[in-house]
Amino acid sequence: MHPPLSLIFFFVTGGTSVGLFTLIYMLDILSSDISKEILFMGSFVSLCLIAVGAVGASFHLGHKLRAWKAVRRFRTSWLSREAIFSGIYGALLLLYTLLLHNSKNSLYIGALVCLFGLLSAFSTAMIYASNRFVLEWHTPVTVLYFLIMYLMLGAGALNFLLSVYNPAYGGIFKILLVVLVLAFLLRLYFNIRQPYIKRPSLAEALNLPFNKPVRLVDKGTTTENYCTKEFFYRKGKERLSVFLPLAYLLTFFIPTAFSLYFLLMKENQILVSGVVFFSILSGSILERWCFFVEGNHVQNLFYGLYPSEKS
């Protein structure tokens, strides 16, 4: 699949927003070390991120001004649900941030913000996980992985925020380490699973007997078309062997090493926390790029571009 940059942008901005708010809200309930100042800053940054993410995601649409119509098919479409839940999340977050600004903290509204943020994340993940024609994505692990990635982005951002406002607070180090390890394991499973996916063949697509070899002779066009460009990214496939290890390094390995350092040193430093967050952020952008490029749509069978079961 061709990676749409606007959706990758929404993933990292929306993901950081939901993850950051969820974690900061939970820590505020569970710990007295989260000051009102940090809570306000976290909420404000989350609000800015979801707003910027929503604007960025609209660049994926052919008709941005009609985007409001996406609320119509809540009953059947995960994209419609994502639009509605994200909208409610943003609106509630704005209300919550305004309340904080006026020195009022509403636990109930905060809980609703968390709930709709997670529902929005779940709906986004389901857009991919429910697509049964991209078998790499069509697994419950995609949903779990999305949610953990959101928390990982949020933990990275919160760690950076705390390094500015409360360097002595060490509670975030363990959370960061746990979500990093979980996200790494889920990504590893995502990759290990791919060679074992039972893939359809061209004979199955053409509904022909399986005992004879079939091959594409002519695809009816001498140049690329929408289907070959949208569902198969040749340049991406060629670069995957470089970008995927780099994504692992930046998203998981470097931040994990620094998280262990934080844990051992029991101290947070702005510069190092900044490096960790930047590493998670840039790694996640690369990781999402790989996620799209790794996805193979079954329509590619008709163009001779689908991997065989053996490869």
Partner 1 sequence: MAQYALVIDLNVCVGCHACAVNCKEWNTQGQFGPLSDYDPYGETPSGVWYNRVFTFEVGEFPNVEIFHIPKSCLHCQEAPCVPVCPTGASYKREEDGIVLVNYNDCIGCKLCSWNCPYGCREFDEIEKVMKKCTLCIDRIYDESLPPSQRKPACVLTCPAKARFFGDIEDPQSEAYKAIKERGGYVLFPSTGAVPSNHYLPRTEKELDLSDLEERILKPDSQLFLEVWKRIKTSKEDY
Which residues form the interface with partner 1 (CB under 8 A)? 1, 60-64, 66-67, 69-73, 76-80, 83, 127, 131-134, 200, 202, 204-208, 212-221, 223-227, 230-231, 297-300, 302-303
Max CA distance (Å), the chain:
74
Q: Closer CB to partner 1, residue 173 or residue 303?
A: 303
Q: Closer CB to partner 1, residue 209 or residue 242?
A: 209
Distance of closest approach, residue 303 Cβ to partner 1, in angstroms: 8
Distance of closest approach, residue 204 Cβ to partner 1, in angstroms: 6
Q: By the 8 A CB rule, do 86 and 102 touch?
A: no
CA geometry: angle 266, 247, 277, nearest 5 deg: 35
Contacts 24+ apart (CB under 8 A), 238-242: 239/293, 240/290, 240/293, 240/294
255 burial (CB, 10 Å; 0-12 / 13-18 / 19+) is buried
Q: Closer CB to partner 1, residue 198 or residue 310?
A: 198
Q: Closer CB to partner 1, residue 109 or residue 203?
A: 203
Distance of closest approach, residue 113 Cβ to partner 1, in angstroms: 23
Distance of closest approach, residue 307 Cβ to partner 1, in angstroms: 16
Distance of closest approach, residue 19 Cβ to partner 1, in angstroms: 24
Q: Closer CB to partner 1, residue 167 or residue 200?
A: 200
Distance of closest approach, residue 214 Cβ to partner 1, in angstroms: 5
Q: Which distant-in-sequence residues (6+ apart) come within 8 Å of 70 by Cβ?
A: 79, 80, 83
Distance of closest approach, residue 230 Cβ to partner 1, in angstroms: 7
3-state SS class at 297: strand
How far apart CA 33 and CA 70 sit, in angstroms, is 41
Q: Closer CB to partner 1, residue 72 or residue 104?
A: 72
3-state SS class at 63: coil
97 burial (CB, 10 Å; 0-12 / 13-18 / 19+) is buried
Buried b (16+ CB within 10 A) or exposed e, 2-13: bbbeebbbbbbb
Q: Closer CB to partner 1, residue 170 or residue 307?
A: 307
